[in-house]
Amino acid sequence: MHSTPPLSTELALRAFEADQAFSTALAAVQSSFQPGLSPIEAARKANAHGFAWLSRPCDDDPALVQVMLRHQGGAETAAVGDNIAQLLAGLLGIALQPAAQASEPEGGGKGGDAAPVVCPAVRPAAPVDPEPEAEPEQQPASQLLDDQQKATAVAMCKAMDAATRKAFTISFRDAFRVDRDARSIIPLITELKHLEFIDRFSIEAAGGISE
């Protein structure tokens, strides 16, 4: 009869120390959180305590996303669901409140006043027909954002600090060839591809890896 050999004392000690370092660092970063802090802002604080995170499609169900939180000491934890912000908030220990209707992020708005962002699950955009329909209302409904998605997209913009928001605005204008005469990009955030762009930019700006 064969039995599974026990974990060596050295490996067991390393695992314990990694878990202990993870818990100590998480407690330290949580003590710096302020009420109303968004998951993206919290992730930036966590980076300074040795944490990194990434998101990717779940292996068992591509319709879901897996978010992993790793610590430089070697320990990690993960969660699976359909909302990146909620998963990241859960891993960092943040209690999210329903996102309020966000105001115009351009024109001097303060990112620190933003409500916690609850972003929808990101889905790949369907191929765009090279021959656009003559009437905008004839576009496939799946490509257009509903009111809640639009409010979420605007809230994600407002959650950015001033420097990040400026870089985002420049990137958005360049990516979607926004007319220079357009004073604000907010009215132009109408399609799923716009929300996906905002989500990817927010993740990468916070030090995450968007797949």
| Together in a domain, 185 and 198 | yes
- Residue 125 included in any domain: no
What's the pLDDT band for 66 if we cut at 50, 70, 90?
Answer: confident
| Together in a domain, 105 and 73 | no
160-195 pLDDT tens trace:
888 888 989 999 999 989 888 888 888 889 899 988
Residues belonging to the chain:
211
- Residue 74 included in any domain: yes
pLDDT for 65 equals 79
Residue with tokens 């309020």: 100
B/e letters for 98-110, b = 16+ CB within 10 Å, e = fewer, are ebeebeebeeebe
Q: Which residues span the domain enclosing 83?
A: 7-97
| Together in a domain, 86 and 67 | yes
The number of domains in the chain is 2
| Together in a domain, 160 and 197 | yes
| Together in a domain, 104 and 48 | no
67-113 pLDDT tens trace:
888 888 888 888 888 788 788 888 888 776 554 333 344 444 444 44
Q: What sections of the chain are H helices per DSSP?
A: 9-30, 39-47, 84-92, 147-158, 162-175, 192-205
| Together in a domain, 76 and 105 | no
Closest Cα partner for 198 from 102, 112, 132, 128?
Answer: 102
The dihedral sign for the CA sequence 48, 56, 118, 204: positive
38-58 pLDDT tens trace:
777 777 878 888 888 777 788
- Residue 204 included in any domain: yes
